[in-house]
């Protein structure tokens, strides 16, 4: 983890949040490369689960919703952790996190009885900080898919089974955040509520289990490090009748990466007085929901952990092509030869119309290769003196380090082909 955190900072993937003010504990900012990586993950997901399917549509809802949403969803009452407080230094801990031992801060052993602590962040709408103006930052994106169910249904004319998807921020006042971007108080989720008939829930639970495995493979994850964990009755969220967690072997232990839940008709029933789904020939009814959910930041972390390789002389991020922040880098062999720089710049500008491309003309070529390897750029293109004569360039592969010469006119097509493989 230390190596990943240091690479992320050094190369502009992820920085500590508010660093020049001494930071803000457990907040992280995505830098230029991290933003590309994260956006690539979100775009891949959106394309796979929304744009290439007929049965799923997307929404992008407000993250501050009417507080009645959280009353109806059960989050105001249920979304809490039991906390104990050290009687000596008043630090608070999750009840089950200390195992009855001493306070890790002051080493005393006396604690208060556990009190429920709601994980939702509160704020106020308007200037008056009064009870009536309290609103909450959403703790999951899911509720908007239920609250907007009827509007989506009426405008998209979907019939069961169909899903509503959303990518967006969620906020939780976590008691034990940590492990870099694994658990933070502000994070992003990619969620689908897949609406079905009650009788079909087992079939679609299994269907989404397989879809989630497919996605994990797309991220380049070694499936040996993934463990499917059935969550027992008492530990499931208040809305779920079955939950399967996809755990990953993180360097800090095996922990939840993604989750799959059968939310029944719990949410739609709580939000809609009348059954919101009608079909010819049957009484209106409440569809049930299967919910596959993915954390964006945990996806970024896992993609980085899986891609990180140390070899003899280099560190290389073997990211899947689709996730790599830059798809290629263009170098003039020598920065002080204007004819090389001019041709390289032209190639760079042409390729940028279709791909994210980096430019580098500093230091020697070997160092430039290693610098691109470290950020996962799949291909490096070098313009040398032969290029001026023969209209070709070398293209060097990140993983095999092999080089080949290709014609400049064919470069964009070749790159496209290679990136799709």
Omega into 161 within 30° of 0, i.e. cis?
A: yes
The site map against ligand GAP for 205-244 (x = CB under 6 A) is ----------------------------------------
Which of 73, 293, 372, 382 lies at the binding interface for ligand GAP (CB under 6 A)?
A: 293
User: Smallest gap, in angstroms, from Cβ of residue 80 to ligand GAP?
Assistant: 13
Nearest to ligand GAP of 291, 360 (CB atom): 291
Residue nearest ligand GAP (C-beta atom): 295
**Do 343 and 61 touch, CB atoms closer than 8 A?**
no
Which of 49, 258, 326, 369 lies at the binding interface for ligand GAP (CB under 6 A)?
A: 258
Which of 200, 256, 265, 361 lies at the binding interface for ligand GAP (CB under 6 A)?
A: 256
Nearest to ligand GAP of 170, 381 (CB atom): 170
User: Smallest gap, in angstroms, from Cβ of residue 297 to ligand GAP?
Assistant: 5
Nearest to ligand GAP of 184, 371 (CB atom): 184
DSSP-assigned letters across all residues of 133-169: GEEEE-S-SHHHHHHTHHHHHHHH---SSEEEEEEEE
- Please give the DSSP secondary-structure letter assigned to residue 27: -
Q: Is the dihedral of CA 221, 223, 224, 229 positive or negative?
A: positive
At residue 168, φ and ψ (nearest 5 deg) are 180, 175
Nearest to ligand GAP of 40, 184 (CB atom): 184
Nearest to ligand GAP of 189, 394 (CB atom): 189
Nearest to ligand GAP of 187, 369 (CB atom): 187
Nearest to ligand GAP of 251, 284 (CB atom): 251
Task: Please choose, from the candidates 373, 208, 191, the residue with its C-alpha nearest in 3D space to the C-alpha of residue 299.
Answer: 191
* Close Cβ partners of 406 (under 8 Å, ≥ 6 residues apart): 392, 393, 395, 414
User: Smallest gap, in angstroms, from Cβ of residue 45 to ligand GAP?
Assistant: 12
Could you tell me the CA-to-CA distances from 410 to 166, 324, 415 in Å, in that order? 39, 22, 9
Q: Tell me the window of 60-68, 91-99, 252-260, 393-401 that interacts with ligand GAP (CB under 6 A).
A: 252-260
What is the distance between the alpha carbons of residues 144 and 193, in angstroms, rounded to a whole number? 10
Nearest to ligand GAP of 139, 376 (CB atom): 139
β-bridge mates for residue 116, sequence order? 82
What is the distance between the alpha carbons of residues 169 and 190, in angstroms, rounded to a whole number? 9
User: Smallest gap, in angstroms, from Cβ of residue 94 to ligand GAP?
Assistant: 13
Which of 292, 295, 320, 332 lies at the binding interface for ligand GAP (CB under 6 A)?
A: 295
326 Rama sector, left if φ>0, alpha if ψ -120 to 50, beta otherwise: beta
Binding residues for ligand GAP restricted to 167-186, rule: CB under 6 A: 172, 174, 183-184
Binding residues for ligand GAP restricted to 186-205, rule: CB under 6 A: 187, 189, 191
User: Smallest gap, in angstroms, from Cβ of residue 32 to ligand GAP?
Assistant: 22
Task: Please choose, from the candidates 273, 299, 276, 274, the residue with its C-alpha nearest in 3D space to the C-alpha of residue 287.
Answer: 276
- For residue 57, count CB atoms less than 10 angstroms from its CB and return exposed for 0-12, middle for 13-18, buried for 19 or more: middle
Task: Please choose, from the candidates 110, 135, 139, the residue with its C-alpha nearest in 3D space to the C-alpha of residue 124.
Answer: 135
- For residue 284, count CB atoms less than 10 angstroms from its CB and return exposed for 0-12, middle for 13-18, buried for 19 or more: exposed
User: Smallest gap, in angstroms, from Cβ of residue 174 to ligand GAP?
Assistant: 5
Please give the torsion angle defined by the CA atoms of residues 215, 216, 222 and 228, in that order, rounded to the nearest 10 degrees. Answer: -130
- Strands 379-383 and 328-332, bridge-based pairing: parallel
User: Smallest gap, in angstroms, from Cβ of residue 191 to ligand GAP?
Assistant: 6
User: Smallest gap, in angstroms, from Cβ of residue 267 to ligand GAP?
Assistant: 10
Q: Tell me the window of 28-36, 77-85, 290-298, 308-316 that interacts with ligand GAP (CB under 6 A).
A: 290-298
Q: Tell me the window of 295-303, 313-321, 366-374, 412-420 that interacts with ligand GAP (CB under 6 A).
A: 295-303
- The yes or no reply on residue 142 touching ligand GAP (CB under 6 A) is yes
Which of 16, 259, 276, 292 lies at the binding interface for ligand GAP (CB under 6 A)?
A: 259
User: Smallest gap, in angstroms, from Cβ of residue 98 to ligand GAP?
Assistant: 20
Q: How many residues contact ligand GAP, by CB under 6 A?
A: 17
Point out which residues bind ligand GAP (CB under 6 A): 140, 142, 172, 174, 183-184, 187, 189, 191, 256, 258-259, 291, 293, 295, 297-298
């Amino acid at each position: 983890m230390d190596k990943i955190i240091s690479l992320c900072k050094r190369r502009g993937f992820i920085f500590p949040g508010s660093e020049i003010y001494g930071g803000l504990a457990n907040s992280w900012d995505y830098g230029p490369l991290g933003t590309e990586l994260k956006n690539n993950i979100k775009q891949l997901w959106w394309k796979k689960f929304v744009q290439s399917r007929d049965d799923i549509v997307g929404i992008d809802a407000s993250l501050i919703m009417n507080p009645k949403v959280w009353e109806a969803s059960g989050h105001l009452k249920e979304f809490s952790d039991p906390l104990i407080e050290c009687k000596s230094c008043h630090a608070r801990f999750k009840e089950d996190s200390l195992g009855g031992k001493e306070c890790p801060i002051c080493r005393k052993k006396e604690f208060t009885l556990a009190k429920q602590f709601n994980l939702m962040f509160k704020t106020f709408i308007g200037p008056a900080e009064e009870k009536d103006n309290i609103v909450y930052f959403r703790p999951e994106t899911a509720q908007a898919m239920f609250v907007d169910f009827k509007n989506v249904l009426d405008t998209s004319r979907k019939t069961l089974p169909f899903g509503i998807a959303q990518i967006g921020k969620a906020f939780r006042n976590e008691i034990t955040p940590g492990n870099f971007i694994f658990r933070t108080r502000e994070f992003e989720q990619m969620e689908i509520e897949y609406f079905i008939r009650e009788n079909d829930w087992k079939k679609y639970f299994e269907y989404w289990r397989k879809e989630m495995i497919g996605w994990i493979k797309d991220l380049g994850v070694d499936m040996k490090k993934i463990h499917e964990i059935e969550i027992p009755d008492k530990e499931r969220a208040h809305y779920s009748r079955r939950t399967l967690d996809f755990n990953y072997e993180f360097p800090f232990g095996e922990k939840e990466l993604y989750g799959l839940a059968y939310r029944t008709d719990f949410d739609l029933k709580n939000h809609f007085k009348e059954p919101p789904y009608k079909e010819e020939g049957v009484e209106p009814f409440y569809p049930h929901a299967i919910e596959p959910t993915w954390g964006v930041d945990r996806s970024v972390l896992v993609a980085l952990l899986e891609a990180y390789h140390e070899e003899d002389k280099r560190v290389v991020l073997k990211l899947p092509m689709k996730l790599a922040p830059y798809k290629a880098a263009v170098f003039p062999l020598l920065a002080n030869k204007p004819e090389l720089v001019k041709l390289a710049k032209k190639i760079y500008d042409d390729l940028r119309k279709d791909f994210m491309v980096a430019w580098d003309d500093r230091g020697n070529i070997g160092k430039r290769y290693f610098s691109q390897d470290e950020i996962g750029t799949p291909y490096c293109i070098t313009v040398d003196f032969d290029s001026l004569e023969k209209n070709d360039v070398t293209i060097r592969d990140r993983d095999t380090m092999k080089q080949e010469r290709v014609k400049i006119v064919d470069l964009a097509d070749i790159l496209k082909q290679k990136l799709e493989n």
